[in-house]
């Protein structure tokens, strides 16, 4: 594990049982997150991004399992822990303190029967020893840090009394209250309008700077990737197909799928007058992936040899792609 890395994932395979058989949801996923850096995990729905986050947090559903791979995490005391070898009690001690997660839809993550003060304070109750008055003061300070107005009064509000943007700020406060080293953010701005989305992204960048934490940012929005990420891993059909620094990914794209994502949406990376070109077709079912490159049936560059397995290979310094091509131009 690199000394500068806080998390190193190698060869992660996740399988789910269902209807009398097992389906592989993640295939040989590998990436690393540096200290204080943001890695964006990007791809269409069904590409395996959220499954990756659940595997890291030890939150896979009962019918899911890690079939292979290593998840090395560097504890803040310097120890390197293999997450796949930890028991449930050890995982609980890590969650919320060392590693925290922000989910996509706060209304489904917040308990409607408890005030936001109780729900944020519960993290302190579980992981730190302090009296009720200190716990309340810390909770108010955290609400103020995530820029919730009248924080002391909002302590006693219920989730339904807050706007979508405020609920997401509460989720960030819950995730950050114990000052984790790694924050996993799973599509945290998808349900928000553009103005509120920009505010949440600014807040996360500021908190990252204040706490010195690393972020795994999961999204399908390449505009958010350009704004938030230092490094990017592009996923398709349960595997990583391209990995690079954010500038290299946008300026020297090496996989047709990544090129398709960039060509299908507006953004500052596009040439003036360039028309939007959607990616044809859809992500194939994981139970019936085509042989070789899973993207080949949708790819304008596909050749017969794409039916053979294609591994991630180095195309340029610190730039990997799972493609027979050395690079791709706009079709």
- Mean pLDDT within 106-131: 85
Q: Are 71 and 216 within 8 A, CB to CB?
A: no
Tell me the percentage of the chain whose pLDDT exceeds 70: 95
The pLDDT of residue 278 is above 90: no
Per-residue pLDDT of 73-101, as tens digits, reads 999 888 999 999 999 888 888 887 899 99
- Mean pLDDT within 287-306: 92
All domains of the chain in start order, with CATH: 36-61+89-98+182-331 (3.40.50.300), 105-179 (no CATH)
The pLDDT of residue 331 is above 50: no
The pLDDT of residue 251 is above 80: yes
Q: Which residue did the predictor score with more confidence, 321 or 164?
A: 321
Q: How far apart are the C-alpha atoms of 297 and 124, rounded to whole Å?
A: 50
Mean pLDDT, the chain, integer: 89
Residue 267: what pLDDT? 72
Cα-based torsion angle of the residue sequence 205, 206, 211, 215 in order, rounded to the nearest 10 degrees: -10
Give the tokens for residue 41.
């995990």
As beta bridge partners, residue 16 has: 23, 64
The pLDDT of residue 270 is above 80: no
Residue 244: what pLDDT? 96
Residue 4: what pLDDT? 87
The pLDDT of residue 196 is above 90: no
Which residue from 324, 329, 322 is spatially nearest to 242, judged by alpha carbons? 322
Residue 328: what pLDDT? 66
Residue 28: what pLDDT? 95
Report helix, strand or coil for 293: coil
Checking DSSP bridges between strand 21-34 and strand 231-236, what pairing results, if any? unpaired
Residue 275: what pLDDT? 80
Checking DSSP bridges between strand 64-74 and strand 182-186, what pairing results, if any? unpaired
Q: How far apart are the C-alpha atoms of 141 and 101, rounded to whole Å?
A: 20
The pLDDT of residue 330 is above 60: no
Per-residue pLDDT of 44-63, as tens digits, reads 988 999 999 999 999 999 99
Q: How far apart are the C-alpha atoms of 240 and 32, rounded to whole Å?
A: 12
Strand order in 231-236's β-sheet? 99-102, 182-186, 214-219, 38-42, 231-236, 239-245, 319-321, 313-316
């Amino acid at each position: 594990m690199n000394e500068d890395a806080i998390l190193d994932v190698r060869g992660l395979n996740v399988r789910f049982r269902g209807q009398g058989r097992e389906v592989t949801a993640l295939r040989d996923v590998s990436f690393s997150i540096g200290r204080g850096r943001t890695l964006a995990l990007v791809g269409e729905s069904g590409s395996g991004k959220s499954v990756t986050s659940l595997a890291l947090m030890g939150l896979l559903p009962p019918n899911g399992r890690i079939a292979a791979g290593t998840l090395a995490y560097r504890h803040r005391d310097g120890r390197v822990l293999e997450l796949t070898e930890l028991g449930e009690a050890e995982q609980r001690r890590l969650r919320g303190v060392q590693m925290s997660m922000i989910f996509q839809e706060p209304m489904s993550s917040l308990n409607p029967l408890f005030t936001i003060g109780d729900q944020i304070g519960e993290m302190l109750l579980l992981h730190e020893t302090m009296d009720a008055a200190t716990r309340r003061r810390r909770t108010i300070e955290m609400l103020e840090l995530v820029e919730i107005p009248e924080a002391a009064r909002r302590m006693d509000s219920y989730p339904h009394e807050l706007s979508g943007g405020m609920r997401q700020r509460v989720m960030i406060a819950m995730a950050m209250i114990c000052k984790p080293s790694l924050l996993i953010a799973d599509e945290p701005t998808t349900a928000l309008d553009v103005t509120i989305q920009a505010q949440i992204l600014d807040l996360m960048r500021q908190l990252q700077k204040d706490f010195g934490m690393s972020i795994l940012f999961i999204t399908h929005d390449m505009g958010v990737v350009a704004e938030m990420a230092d490094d990017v891993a592009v996923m398709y059909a349960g595997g990583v197909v391209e990995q690079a620094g954010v500038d290299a990914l946008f300026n020297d794209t090496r996989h047709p799928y990544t090129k398709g994502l960039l060509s299908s949406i507006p953004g500052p990376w596009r040439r003036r007058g360039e028309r939007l070109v959607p990616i044809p077709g859809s992500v194939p079912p994981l139970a019936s992936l085509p042989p070789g490159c899973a993207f080949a049936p949708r790819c304008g560059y596909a050749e017969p040899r794409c039916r053979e397995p294609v591994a991630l290979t180095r195309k340029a310094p610190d730039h990997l792609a799972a493609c027979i091509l050395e690079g791709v131009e706009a079709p």
